[in-house]
Structure 1
Amino acid sequence: MNVLITGASRGIGRATARLAGEKHWNVGVNYVRNEDAAKSTLEEVKTAGGQAMALQGDVSREKDVLKLFNSMEKVYGAVNGLVINAGITAQRMPLADMSLDRLKKMFDTNVLGSYLCAREAARRMPQARGGNGGSIVIVSSAASRLGASNEYVDYAGSKGALDSLTLGLSKELGPLRVRVNAVRPGLIDTEIHEASGDSERAIRLGKQTPLQRAGTADEVAEAIIWLLTPASSYVTGALVDVAGGR
């Protein structure tokens, strides 16, 4: 499989790339700024048994999204797996205190960026458009149904948009042999919590879940990989919670 993973230099994206390597897939590792982290991910993929290439690009820019797909296709051929994972969060605060710049950045990256990537996949992956079919996995969040009040309702709202994207696009692309699903991680112990100013948030709040712990990036990656493979061949339009029962 040729799988393109956005935001693959850290966290869930990096764990997914590594597991894809274990399946001997060709992996496109997208990153925005941290080239060293992307190179480290490449090494992990190759050590695991796959092939990988680093793809710099900001998903909120259309030209960058086109470049990601074109570069991947030039080296490995048609993309038949896409993981839309790139996303950001920000400092915890109520909506009343959020600036316009923060809101624009949040929605440009998390919503517009995801839609641009999904649109490009919809233009290339269907067999009717010259592709080989395949699977799209969108990384949403349990925040989409919980709301994240007084923390980051902007982030939660952006992920709600991705739930809608998953449901709608799955119906558009299902007849064209492309499946579309989402995973909704809960309290996962990754670097993303540092941006909110509370790096221990997942560990602290994870104890309140039915499983009484935070999740790991690898646990989310396992669900993503399953949705990419034929093992989930009759699954589309699903919102798969990986949230410890929260």
Structure 2
Amino acid sequence: MKPIVLITGGSRGIGAATAKNLAQQGYRVCINYRSNEDTANKLVADIKKDGGEAIAIQADVSDEQAVIMLFKIIDEKVGALTHLVNNAGILLPQMKVTEMSAQRINKMLATNVTSYFLCAKEAIKRMKDGGAIVNVSSAAARLGAPNEYVDYAASKGAIDTFTTGLSLEVASLNIRVNGVRPGFIHTDMHADGGEPNRIERVKGLIPLQRGGKPEEVASAIAFLLSEQASYITGSFIELAGGK
């Protein structure tokens, strides 16, 4: 029986790289997207062209009813989920905390935190014989992202705590929950924050002197989902070039 994985926010960046990696390893891949339909469909086509199995499903995973429907579609079209990659997230334009509105902060938390809770909740219900969850956090959770993205950093700090607590809550069910903390990865997300070339500006501060590739993060996610990591839960892999 092939494992079935859902990757939220899976149409681009780290999510897309993870989808390709897991498809190559024989997973049946469910790619969730919110608005990038064309990108998601192209990714599915590329995976199928390489002999993998994939499906794209639209849903705003910060919305509880949308998440329930997302999992219902997976149940009907693919089967009972065995693995989950909580990856959906947003980055809003750089600003200091003194400029942030409640609307911005709540949008950030709903997308980056609430969605992880909702998807984990539905996934766990289906992992009758155990399973694995990887939460995509960020090095920003440790570094704080001052003057730029403190709200984003705080949302990822919440995910770190969520990962630790959930791993303890479901360990007796043979469900493993781990996290990855990427930082300074070459993705489109930097453009969302208003500085597409941010990595070029900061790479001199990174011990490895370069930004990371989405594929490097995908490899860590794939490892944590795999049986090679069968005795690892409540743990984090740092992927920030030594920062």
2:180 corresponds in structure 1 to 183
User: 1:237 pairs with 234, 238, 242, which one?
Assistant: 234
2:13 corresponds in structure 1 to 11
- SS at the partner of 1:210? coil
CA distance in 2, matches of 1:135, 1:50: 21
User: 2:85 pairs with 76, 83, 87, which one?
Assistant: 83
State how 1:165-204 maps to structure 2 within 5 Å: 165-204=162-201
CA distance in 2, matches of 1:218, 1:116: 26
1:143 corresponds in structure 2 to 140
- SS at the partner of 1:173? helix
TM-score computed with the length of structure 1 as normaliser: 0.95
* Count of aligned pairs between the two proteins: 241
2:56 corresponds in structure 1 to 54
Superposed CA RMSD: 1.0
The change in CA–CA distance for 1:23 and 1:49 in structure 2 (over 3 A counts) is: farther
User: 1:66 pairs with 54, 65, 68, which one?
Assistant: 68
Q: CA deviation at 1:179?
A: 0.3
Identity %: 50
Q: CA deviation at 1:85?
A: 0.1
CA distance in 2, matches of 1:134, 1:45: 23
1:98 corresponds in structure 2 to 100
Q: Which runs of 5+ in 2 are unaligned?
A: none
Q: CA deviation at 1:241?
A: 0.6
**Contact 1:91–1:197 at 8 Å: present in 2 too?**
yes
Q: Does 1:214 align with 2:211?
A: yes
User: 1:205 pairs with 202, 205, 217, which one?
Assistant: 202
Runs of 4+ in 1 over 3 A off after TM superposition: none
Q: CA deviation at 1:240?
A: 1.1
**Contact 1:207–1:214 at 8 Å: present in 2 too?**
no
Q: CA deviation at 1:74?
A: 1.4
User: 2:31 pairs with 29, 32, 52, which one?
Assistant: 29
CA distance in 2, matches of 1:235, 1:49: 30
Q: Which runs of 5+ in 1 are unaligned?
A: 126-130
- SS at the partner of 1:91? coil
Instruction: In structure 2, give the amino acid aligned to 1:100.
Output: A
CA distance in 1, matches of 2:188, 2:19: 16
